[in-house]
Amino acid sequence: MKKALEYIVTQIVDDPEKVEIFETEDNGMINFAISVAPSDMGKIIGKNGKIIRAIRNVVKIAAIKQNKKINIALTETTSSQLL
């Protein structure tokens, strides 16, 4: 699931080198935190959140097939974290 999520996100953004996806598991719930360059944040969110909602739905399909629950969150990256 992480590879699929990473592929989708890197294809959307202008700066794929800055994409980071962190994965944690807690009580059967897999949590993904997506970090992108600040200039790409709007591209991932989309108008009224449509893009991130679509990304969540696509990855959720893979999770359901594996009987897992997922949560996908966007995290902001400051310029000092990128250096």
Q: Is the dihedral of CA 59, 4, 77, 37 positive or negative?
A: negative
Structural domains in the chain (count) = 1
| CATH number of residue 17's parent domain | 3.30.300.20
For 14-51, the pLDDT digits (tens) are: 999 999 999 999 888 999 999 999 999 999 999 999 99
Q: How confident is the model at residue 80 (pLDDT cuts 50, 70, 90)?
A: very low
What are residue 35's DSSP bridge partners? 20, 75
Q: Which domain holds residue 60?
A: 2-82
What's the whole-number mean pLDDT along residues 8-14?
A: 94
Q: Which residue has the tokens 């999520």?
A: 5
Element (H, E) at 2: helix 2-12
User: pTM (2 decimals)?
Assistant: 0.81
Residue 78: pLDDT band (50, 70, 90) is low
